[in-house]
Structure 1
Amino acid sequence: MKKLLKTTLSVLAGLAISFNVLAASAVTLDSANTDIRDQKSLQKGAKLFMNYCSGCHSIAFMRYNRIGKDLNISDADVEKNLMFRG
């Protein structure tokens, strides 16, 4: 019982020290240069996602017609460029 208590306290002390060290570091983060209103960029991103990422990362609960409406893409273009069958 004493060994378990000693081990637990040692682990907790180690975690407390490591969290303080991580919190003390002054790292400045770079800002991302993104614009969610840039329709052309969003359309290109959707096309790239469907071509390269959707094989492993699904968007199972996203509707294609909603993507088209949000990105100002016609239903014919959505079907032609984003919906792959086969």
Structure 2
Amino acid sequence: MSLRDYLLTSHPAFFREAENRWYDVPDPNKAAKKKLKILHLEAVRAGFKKTWQERDYATIVAVAEKIRDNFLEKDPKLVMWYDQAATRMGDE
């Protein structure tokens, strides 16, 4: 059951209230193919650090592929985490 179906059946007042409003709901299937445009270095660093500590190397590689190369290359720590994650994924 999708989230929309769940909300429709369990919270009909929610849909009555939102019926005449327009909401821009992103399509995750379309977003998965696009490069990320607006990035904050500190946020990307924090995310890479956290996923590195959790040994979630696939997430680091997936996010790095969505980041423009020139952004990734500006920070040596991001490059290090990406290179190490890609290497460790190759070993598994």
TM-score, with structure 2 as normaliser? 0.33
TM-score, with structure 1 as normaliser? 0.34
Flag the structure with higher helix content: 2
